[in-house]
Amino acid sequence: MKTLNIIPVLIAVLIMTISGTVLANDSKYIEAMQKNIEAVYTAETIPDYQTAVNALERIGAAEKTKWEPFYYASFGYIMMSNQEKDNAKKDVYLDQAVTALNKAKAIVPNESEIIAMEGFIYMMRIPADPSARGPQYTPMAMQAFNKAIAVNPENPRALALLAQMQLGMAQFFGSSTAEACATNAKALEKFTSFQSENPLAPRWGQQMVEEVKSKCGK
Amino acid sequence: MKAFYSVLFSLILITGYSQTRISGKVTDERGAGVPLANIVLVDTYDGTTSDTEGNFEFTTTETGTKVLLIKFVGYKDFQREVVLDGKPVNITVPLEEMINELEAVMITAGAFAASDESRRTVFKALDIATTAGATADIAGALNTLPGTQKVGESGRLFVRGGDGNETKTFIDGMLVLDAYSPSAPNTPSRGRFLPFMFKGTSFSTGGYSAEYGQALSSALVLDSKDQSEMTRTDIGILSVGGDIAHTQAWERGSVIGKIQYTNIRPYFGLINQEVDWEKPPVSLEGSSAFRQQVGKDGMLKVYGNFNHTNYSLYQHSIDDYNSKFLYELTNRYRYLNGFYKEALNENWIVRGGVSYTYQQNDAIADQDNIVETEKGIHAKTVFEGSLSDKVELKTGADLVQRSYSQEYIISDGDDYTRSFDETIAAGFAEADLYTSNKFVTRAGARLEYNNLTKQFSVDPRISLAYKTGSFSQVSFAYGKFRQTAKNELVRVNNTLDPEKAEHFILNYQRIENNRTFRVETYYKRYSDLVKYENGDAAILNNAGSGYAKGIELFWRDNRSLRNTDYWISYSFLDTKREYLNYPYRSTPAFASKHNFSVVYKYFVQAINSQLGFTYSYTSGRPYNNPNADKFNNGKTPAYSDLSFNWSYLPKPYLIVYLSCTNLLGRDNIFSYEYSSQQNAEGIYNSRPVRQAAPRFLFVGIFITLSKDKSVNQLPSL
């Protein structure tokens, strides 16, 4: 009798622990990610970024099926290249951004956010040597942004990056900024309307849109 | 029940109370701390980042045996098993430096690499297109680099006291038998291959890899682009013709077709030419390239090119201008190149290919008809890989088979044909041995068998490079090189030995954030050069010899001045040789002691334009005056040229390009030609060899039609 009584208890305990660990694991993932995503967003120096990126890469390596850790690690590396002054080192950070992003891409091959980020990396290659790299990387970046928009027309970051690129080209050629401003306005609209079910969905890029908006004089 | 609770209790104990503290220090091989390294407890979220001194510390609630992984860019990953049982773990992590492309020393002696992929190159692919005076000709742009001598009437690459034919061109590793378009006598020829086709150019002025043979002085190695990213149509409207190209791209491949028509007649109608053209050159050229990725890492490339050129001109006698005869040339050219590359595994790749060249020069000189035909096949397979991260190996075999014939159909007398068939089988092996990121040794050898001489030969090649600082390095190269003598000599004597050269090169290079300084010195020894026996061109031997030595400087800076990029090259050359009809050692007519050039490029944002200037100076070259006692003792005036180009981008898909050579209109004299007979006073009459026209003006409009309007032809110009 005693033993019989124990069995349901044991089962109950087992079920509780199993579902507990599953739930705990996912909430542990989300919690850890939220903390480190915030760390990337608020980082100010290269060591800040590297610390956050290291943590993200640890999570990514442990999880194996989640693309977000590598996506944000890639974003962190892009930000590091942006802070770095030396052109050769800028490229090293961007190479690391590519490596991280490729890991994310292997998990979700057709994610609009990842494709947009690819374009972002191409765009960041240009400042180191605009005359040689501009003609090479501009079309590659444009193509990536357009593809990201085709995959998900609601992606505000793809639109914002495209607007940035269009503005740069309009300024270079001294032509009308109307197209860039229209894309930017669309990006701004999507930033308010676009809601992802994913609690870890990217949120960055709004500031970029505000800057372009101010240049568009509206 | 009791047992159950005690189990539960101990579980709580383990999960709740067992914490292990892991600490330590990450260092490099010299013991200095490595900050910002990632310390990972594998398969967990736990870990940390090393601080500014390389120290780290974290706690984990994990238990049992786990792997601790430490990683940082530029170093090899470090792994160690740790037992987590609550006892603190302290560990010193000596990270081992990784031999990586960005940090590792490079062999730079004799090498000028231009690539979009490698970022530490001195020269970029785009530089070739935007160098003023080069008018998008590869050889023209490379002529602004040290180690080259400007020979204005030829247009070919003359390297370090070597003749133009001592430079060989390779596309994707495959030999090109004649890389230059035909040109009228004493007018510069242009390369057959447009710079836009290539993603990388490696121009070696000596000491090159054992992979390349049959070149005495220089190897120009061109790497064609991989697949194109997008479907587009390019139209070029040129002052001397037009071209149209279409690219069709798909997911893993692309195909490009291009047709170009060049007719220089309308231009020559406007600008007076030194050459008495009956029919200026007209050429029709087509090229096509196919690219396909195969499997995960395979790449197939096929490139083909045909060209048909025809012109005719009057050659005037030196003694009497009114005595002239017609010279007509028709050149037919086909080139086909197939290339395949595949990864065998993570560490090894195999690449190989076949190239086929067919060329025919059908010339009518007065009443005689001379038909020169050359056909050649080059097949090659190369294995490349690493034995460890410190040893890289390259080995392969290649076969060149070519047949040459010259048919002389004489109006008055007996026709005759002189020909030969040559087969060269070769094998090579080369190893790069890195002692550290600072020091590399490359040792290799090339084995060749030639069916004409029935001889085996082995040519060793050795290079060393040592990094003297973060940005600077010294490099040394030695090599033995051989090359079959020119066709016009071998057709006379099929059993001539190949001509030989030995190179010794010492180089210092410093590249720091868009500034490059290079100095290089060399000694080159020639032997077995072909010589006329007792001055008789019908009897040839290998008794000739010679040397070349010099020092070269290069400075490039695209940082100091805003929107400006410039480079300066200077080459000093001392060379003498005894070959062909030379009675004793003397400086050949193509060699000049001082070569100096400045290339300046300036971007003007306000007008969306890049302006470029190139100034070149070449000191006087020797020529032989048969009226003088000494051989090759005459000296031409110095050559100088100031060229200009302007690329204007009014719209993202439109480029207007304008270039003009010799802005100052200087009358450059390249040499003097002498009559073969003395006149009544016992003097050989002479005539200077001049530029065909003081200036060459070129205007082109390039339009790109694509779905994406941001694309233009600038990367390809």
A131 contacts B126? CB cut-off 8 A: yes
Tell me the torsion sign for CA atoms B574, B578, B582, B585. Answer: positive
Q: Which residue of A has its CA nearest to B652?
A: A173
- pLDDT above 50: residue A23: no
Residue type, B558: N
Residue A140 forms contact with B (CB below 8 Å): yes
Q: Which residue ranges of chain B lie beneath pLDDT 50?
A: 1, 7-16, 715-717
Residues A168 and A132 in one domain: yes
pLDDT score recorded for residue A2: 44
**Are residues A80 and A50 in contact, defined by beta-carbon separation less than 8 angstroms?**
yes
Backbone angles phi, psi at A152, to 5 degrees: -140, 100
* Yes or no, beta carbons of A47 and B36 under 8 Å apart: yes
Angle, helix A112-125 to helix A87-107, in steps of 10 degrees: 170
DSSP three-state, residue B489: helix
- Residue B531: closest CA among B494, B491, B584: B584
Amino acid at B269: G
Nearest to B555 by CA among B154, B130, B146, B256: B146
- Write out chain B residues lying below 8 Å of A97, CB-based: none
- Taking an 8 Å cut-off on Cβ atoms, the answer to whether A146 and B712 are in contact is no
Instruction: For chain B, give percent helix, strand, coil, nearest 5.
Output: 5, 60, 35
CATH of residue A198's domain is 1.25.40.10
**Does residue A5 carry a pLDDT above 70?**
no
CB-facing half-sphere around the CA of B117: CA atoms within 13 A: 10
Strands B639-651 and B609-618, bridge-based pairing: antiparallel
Which of A50, A87, A179 is most worth mutating to test chain B (most B CB atoms within 10 A of its CB)?
A: A50
CA-nearest residue of chain A to B37?
A54
Look up residue B95 and give its DSSP letter. Answer: P
Q: Which of B53, B23, B108, B144 is nearest to B641 (CA)?
A: B144
Task: Measure the N-to-C terminal CA separation of chain A; round to a whole number of Å.
Answer: 79
The shortest C-alpha distance from A86 to chain B (Å) reads 7
Any chain B CB within 8 A of the CB of A153?
no
- List the single range of A8-22, A93-107, B510-524 with lowest mean pLDDT: A8-22
Q: Do you know the residue count of chain B?
A: 717
**In terms of domains, do A148 and A207 share one?**
yes
Contact B50, B33 (CB under 8 A): yes
Of the partner residues A62, A92, A146, the one whose CB lies closest to the CB of residue B102: A92
**Closest CA relative to residue B589, chosen from B555, B559, B624:** B624
Residue B280 one-letter amino acid:
P
What CATH architecture applies to the domain B2-94? Sandwich (2.60)
- At B711 the pLDDT is 59
Per-residue b or e along B196-210, where b marks 16 or more CB atoms closer than 10 Å to that residue's CB: bbbbbbbbbbbbbbb
Distance in Å, alpha carbon of B656 to nearest chain A alpha carbon: 14
**C-alpha–C-alpha distance, residues B586 and B579, integer Å:** 9
Does residue A82 belong to any structural domain of this protein? Answer: yes
Contact B705, B232 (CB under 8 A): yes
Same fold: B2-94 with B111-716? no
> Does the residue A180 lie in any domain?
yes
pLDDT in tens, B645-685: 998 888 878 888 898 989 999 999 999 999 988 999 999 99
The amino acid at B369: N
User: How sure is the predictor about A9, in pLDDT bands with cuts at 50, 70 and 90?
Assistant: low
What is the DSSP code string of chain A?
A: -HHHHHHHHHHHHHHHHHHHHHHHHHHHHHHHHHHHHHHHHH--SHHHHHHHHHHHHHHHHHHSS-SHHHHHHHHHHHHHHHH---HHHHHHHHHHHHHHHHHHHHHSTT-HHHHHHHHHHHHHHGGGSHHHHHHHHHHHHHHHHHHHHHH-TT-HHHHHHHHHHHHHHHHHHT---HHHHHHHHHHHHHHHH---S-TT---TTHHHHHHHHHHTT-
For residue A139, the Cα-to-chain-centroid distance in whole angstroms is: 21
Q: Round to whole Å and give the CA distance between B597 and B275.
A: 28
If you measure CA to CA, which chain B residue comes closest to A134?
Answer: B715
Residues A102 and A162 in one domain: no
At A37, give phi and psi (nearest 5°).
-65, -45
pLDDT at B114: 66
Backbone angles phi, psi at B127, to 5 degrees: -60, -35
A121 and A217: one domain? yes
The number of C-alpha atoms within 13 Å of A195 and in the hemisphere containing its C-beta is: 2
Q: Nearest C-alpha of chain A: how many angstroms from B618?
A: 29
Interface contact A61-B708, CB threshold 8 A:
no
Closest Cβ opposite residue B38 in set A46, A54, A132:
A54
Asked if residue A161 is part of any domain, the answer here is: yes
Q: Structural domain boundaries of chain B? A: 2-94, 111-716
Residues A163 and A127 in one domain: yes
Count other C-beta atoms under 10 Å from residue B615's C-beta: 19
Instruction: Write down the H helix ranges in B64-172.
Output: 125-129, 138-142
If DSSP codes are grouped into helix, strand and coil, which group holds residue B614?
strand
Instruction: Report the percentage of chain A scoring pLDDT > 90.
Output: 59
Question: Is A61 near chain B, with CB under 8 Å?
Answer: yes
Strand pairing category for B167-171 and B218-224: parallel
Nearest one of B258, B272, B213, B65 to B697, comparing CA atoms: B272
Q: For residue A69, what are the domain limits?
A: 12-109
For the cut 70, the answer to whether the pLDDT of residue A4 exceeds it is no
Cα A33 to Cα A24, A196, B113: the distances in Å are 14, 16, 44
Query: Do A60 and A129 reside in the same domain of the chain?
Result: no
With CA atoms as reference, the chain A residue closest to B3 would be A6
Distance CA B544, CA B527 (A): 6
Minimal Cβ distance to A142: which of B49, B116, B708: B708
Name the residue of chain B whose CA is nearest to A132's CA.
Answer: B126
Supply the pTM of this predicted model. 0.84
Contacts 24+ apart (CB under 8 A), B630-635: B631/B582, B631/B583, B631/B584, B631/B586, B632/B582, B632/B586, B632/B587, B632/B588, B632/B589, B633/B586, B634/B672
Q: How far apart are CA A34 and CA A44, in angstroms?
A: 18
d(CA A46, CA B232): 41
Q: Which residues of B touch A28 (CB under 8 A)?
A: 45
Q: Do A47 and B35 touch (CB under 8 A)?
A: yes
* Interface test mutation site (partner B, options A30, A115, A131, max chain B beta carbons within 10 A): A131
Q: A139 and B708 in contact (C-beta within 8 Å)?
A: yes
In a domain, A1, yes or no: no
Show the CA angle centred on residue B473, arms to residues B468 and B478, nearest 5°.
125
Between the two ends of chain B, the Cα-to-Cα distance in Å is: 85
B288 close to B257: Cβ distance less than 8 angstroms: yes
Q: For residue B66, what pLDDT is reported?
A: 93
Interface membership of A132 toward B (CB under 8 Å): yes
Between CA B128 and CA B379 the distance in angstroms is 29
Residue A140 sits in the same domain as residue A168: yes
The beta-carbon neighbor of A131 closest among B116, B120, B610 is B610
Q: Output the six-digit token pair for B139.
A: 């050889």
- A169: closest chain B residue by CA: B652
Tell whether A129 lies on the interface with B, counting CB pairs under 8 A.
yes
Nearest to B301 by CA among B354, B260, B251, B344: B354
Residues A87, B513: C-beta atoms closer than 8 Å:
yes
Of A6, A51, A88, the CB nearest to B49: A51
Residues of B in contact with A167 (CB under 8 A): none
The residue out of A109, A136, A151 marking a domain boundary is: A109
B326's tokens: 């017609």
- Do A50 and A146 lie in a common domain? no
Structural domain count, chain A: 2
How far CA B1 is from CA of A4, A13, B4, in Å, comes to 12, 14, 5
Judge: A139–B711 Cβ closer than 8 Å, yes or no: yes
**Residue A50 and residue A129 share a domain:** no
Q: Which residue of B has its CA nearest to A162?
A: B710
pLDDT of residue B458: 97
Domain final position from A86, A109, A132: A109
Same domain, A158 and A211: yes
At CA B309, angle to CA B308 and CA B310, rounded to 5?
Answer: 130
Chain B positions touching A54 (Cβ under 8 A) are 36, 38-39, 47-49
Same domain (yes/no): A130, A210: yes
Q: Which residue of A has its CA nearest to B74?
A: A92
Domain end marker among A109, A125, A156: A109
Angle at B311 between CA B307 and CA B314, to 5 degrees: 160
For residue B79, the Cα-to-chain-centroid distance in whole angstroms is: 42
| Domain B111-716 class in CATH | mainly beta
d(CA B134, CA B660): 10
Give the A:B interface size as CB pairs under 8 Å.
96
Does B47 contact A142 at a Cβ distance shorter than 8 Å? no
User: Which residue in chain A has the smallest CA separation from B654?
Assistant: A173
**CB contact at 8 A, B683 and B627:** yes
- Cα(B661)–Cα(B664) distance, integer angstroms: 9
Judge if A160 and A127 occupy the same domain. Answer: yes
Please check whether residue B485 is in contact with residue B453, taking contact to mean a CB–CB distance below 8 angstroms. Answer: no
DSSP B73: T
Residue pair B201/B149 in contact by the 8 Å Cβ criterion:
no
